[in-house]
Structures are given as structure tokens and as C-alpha cells.
Amino acid sequence: MQQHDIAQHLATPLMNPAYPPVIPRFTDREYLNIVYRTDRDALRAVVPEPLEIDEPLVRFEVMRMGDVTGYGPYTEAGQAIPVRYDGERGEYLHAMYLDNFPATASGREASAYPKVAGSPSLYVDHGALVGVLDYGTVRVATATMGYKHHELDPEEAAAQITVPTFMLKLVPGFDGTTQVAQLVRTEISDVVVKGAWSGPARLQLFEHVLAPLADLPVCEIVSVSHVLTDLTLAPVRPVHDYLAR
């Protein structure tokens, strides 16, 4: 392969890259969202400047992807933290766990999503919507919600899932020093809300050294939603450079 051909490839392995060169469209993406109040000091310890915190809130989410261009169906779970940046309200993605390697690799390499391997599930069990997350063989989160108890306004549901998203883009050099350290921003577009509901909910987080969701403890559940939607993720763009002099 000639030198000028190398830059035409997206990722390695060169002849069978870890993820496809597509902008994914999510069809029948199903959310279980539980927003809860947590310890303010614990939150401050994990949210990077220059992001700012108002209320000490966390959104625990489990997402079942019905179909994704280039990746197929998979499930994802994680924590997002409401923040402000330069006067704009959004969410900081703290950690994401999923069961699809191409989606994990592309999320980390092509964008800046804090994705690692995990075993999340979203299903209905005896009148309850159940979202769970296992790390290896160990349960680290269990969420339950009354199944479709109350309809939610579709515009309110869309507003919940389309706030700007902030993430850290960290790329190490070969000598171990950081070569890229940026705060980046993205957002969801082309949203079609197919259904949205609310109801009573509970959330349990269990301590694990490699999946420390419980470091942001559940003090009080604030709001709950179950949303079925189609959407597209916009490319990320940097908004703050930690290495700039």
C-alpha cells in the first residue's frame, strides 16, 4: 500500500477497521432515564473545569438501540451530569458502558465518548421497566420504573435528550505525555419521539472499583422518563483546549 493511500483509511486494523466510516442513525432507541440528587462534593470531584455545576444532579441512563447504522442493535448504560459551560446548559458524560465493540471503539477514537465494555440490559418484567448494568459478572446498577404509568409530553421528552453534551478528549503520546486534552461538545439532531412515559422509579448502585457508579450516591430521585425515539448524533467539536498556552 502506498503512502498516499494510508490517510484514506479511518482506523486500524488497516484492512478490517474496528468500526465503519458512517454517521450512525439510531432507529427505535429506547431510554430509561432516572435523574437523582447526589452528594455535591462527590460531584465536584469528577466534573472537570471549566464546566460548572448548579444542582448536584446525575442522570442514570440505560439505552437499548433497536437498530444503528453500521453497528446493529446494542445496549448502553451510564451516567450524565447536568452542567453549564460559557452560559450554556448541557450534560457532561461521566461514564458509559456498552456491549458492542465497534460502537465502543468509534465512540472513543472518532469522537470522545467515555465508553468501556459492560453488560447492560433493558427489558420489561412483571409490569416494571428494568434497566441493569453488570461489569463482568458483578451487578453494579439496577433501575426499575412502573411501565408506562403516565404519558409524557413528546416535546418535554425531546428536550430531555437533546441538551448539548460535553466530553473529555484525551489522547496520550508514545512517551506517556498527553498529546490531546480537550473539552468537546456534541448534540443530538433529527429527533423523532415515538412515545414517552413517566412513572414511579427506584435506583440501586453497587460499589465496584472499575465501574464506580456508586461514587455518585443516590440521595433522592428527582425525575424519571421512558422514551422511544429515532435520532442522529452530530460530530464533536472542541470548545476548550487544556494544553493551550
Residues identified as active-site = 115
The amino acid at 154: P
Number of Cβ within 10 Å of residue 159's Cβ equals: 12
Please, what is the Cα angle at 30 between 89 and 95, to 5 degrees? Answer: 50
**What CA–CA distance (Å, rounded) separates 83 from 89?**
6
Q: How far is CA 98 from CA 80, 116, 232, in A?
A: 15, 7, 18
Q: Is the dihedral of CA 237, 226, 96, 27 positive or negative?
A: negative
Number of Cβ within 10 Å of residue 94's Cβ equals: 21
In which order are the strands placed within the sheet that holds 128-135? 119-125, 128-135, 138-146, 201-205
Q: What is the number of helices (H) and of strands (E) in the chain?
A: 4, 15
Number of Cβ within 10 Å of residue 7's Cβ equals: 6
